[in-house]
Chains A and B, each alone.
Chain A
């Protein structure tokens, strides 16, 4: 069964460094998403991406964040200058028809 994959599973970085989180969505899906979950808190929406552009973003998704679909298979989330409060589990999701999102296993980001 096709699934969303994410790499790395765990990333440790120092404050102020740039990180890129990578996702491979399900191959025939058209809608792509990033969510995050700070330890002990709710899963929060960050951004949705369709037709090679951002279709919706939350107030969390400020200028420090960017997304890209550099080729036909990968979908990336870049954080330009990480802060301690960016430490969280980041989930990628994809969807074919914009009504059922399939989630990847997540990348745990630890900012020290």
Chain B
């Protein structure tokens, strides 16, 4: 059974800092891994999707990496801004016919001006 864990649960940084959010998964037979952003009381905005055959994906100041062998993914945010404050969720889609995304609990990021 796939389980996804995110550490830390919360992170507070000053504006301009580069930061890394961590995601680990127990079943390395994943099809892909998605990173989402969730603002308070709002929906899920997809940030990056990494296919199992890929090592990383980049979008603007965001870079996500995937290491299936160690069961880890990281989301790197460069030059953080107060507008980046949100909860960041990772979710794994496991191989073997299941269509469900398994989510971590998220990392709540606060970027202080």
> Which A residues contact B (CB, under 8 angstroms)?
31, 33, 35, 41-45, 48, 50, 55-56, 58, 89, 91, 98-106, 108
Contacts and interface: CB of A to CB of B under 8 A. Distances in A.
Contact of B99 (A41, A44, A48): A48
Main secondary structure of the interface of A (DSSP, over half): strand
A106 B43 contact: yes
Interface of B: 31-32, 34, 36, 41-46, 49, 51, 89, 91, 93, 98-106
Given A106-B43, A108-B41, A56 B105 contact: no
A17 B102 CA distance: 30
Nearest to B97: A56
B100 A48 contact: yes
Contacts of A91: 43-44
Nearest to A92: B43
Given A43-B89, A43-B91, A101 B43 contact: no
